[in-house]
Amino acid sequence: MDFGSFLTVPEIKVKVVTYRDIFQDKAMIENRFGEEYRDRSAVIKLDPADLKQLSVKKGDTVILKNSFGRVVVRAEESGYETSHRGIAYMPNSPWSNILVSDETGGTGVPKFKDISVTVTSAKGEKVTEPGF
């Protein structure tokens, strides 16, 4: 493994809290494949200090990764929801669902609200397409 390049990219671990957003819901009803829905869904809101540590500016794309999947979304600063380092907010969407565990303990209920990911700068890579 090439540890050199690995270390130069700052990486943080965050817990993702998903939520619903009225404008995102509205955009979904209007067109699930539209730009507005993507802009409002493929987003992660991070604490300003976490953004700084990643050397990522608001609006840049970041890679979110865990053992279930990888997705590129836009990074934003958390606002009214009050920010904490290590806690990130993401609207519930096909993008967040890429990162949800398939582990259910046989209950039929995935752990939608219990998502941990590592975040790194996507260095300009485009937001993931919602398709398969």
Partner 1 sequence: MEKNYHVCTGCGLLCDDIEVESEKNIINKVYTACRVGVAHMKEGKEEAIFRVDNKPVNEETAISEAASILKNAKNPLIFGLGTSTSETHKLAIELARKTNATLDDTSSFCLGSLVEALIHNKIKTCTLDDVRNKADVIIFWGADPSDSHPRHLSKYSYFPRGSEKQRGWEEERTAIAIDIRKSHTAKICGNYFFQIPPGGDTEFIDALIAGLSGKLPKTSYNYPPKKILELANILKGAKFGIVFAGLGLIYSLENLEPLFRLMKALNEKANFHLVPMVGHYNMRGFNENLFAETGYVNSVKFENDIVKHGPEYSIVESLKAKTVDAALIIGSDPLSSLPRSIAKNLFEIPVISMDPCETLTSRNAKVYINTAISGVEAGGTATRMDGTKVSFKPVVETNHPSDEAILKKIMEAL
> Which amino acid, one-letter code, is at 113?
K
Spatial neighbors of 99 by CB under 8 A, at least 6 apart, are 16, 64, 66, 68, 69, 71, 115, 117
Q: Which is nearer to partner 1, 1 or 22 (CB)?
A: 22
Q: Specify the residue for token string 């053992």.
A: 67
Residue of 4, 8, 107, 124 that binds partner 1 (CB under 8 A): 107
Q: Closest CB to partner 1 among 119 and 121?
A: 119
Applying CB under 8 A, among 6, 9, 13, 26 the residue interacting with partner 1 is: 26
Q: Which residues pair with 88 in a beta bridge?
A: 16
* Interface positions with partner 1 (CB under 8 A): 15, 17, 19-23, 25-26, 29-30, 32-33, 68-69, 80-82, 87, 89, 93-94, 97-98, 100-102, 104, 106-114, 130-132
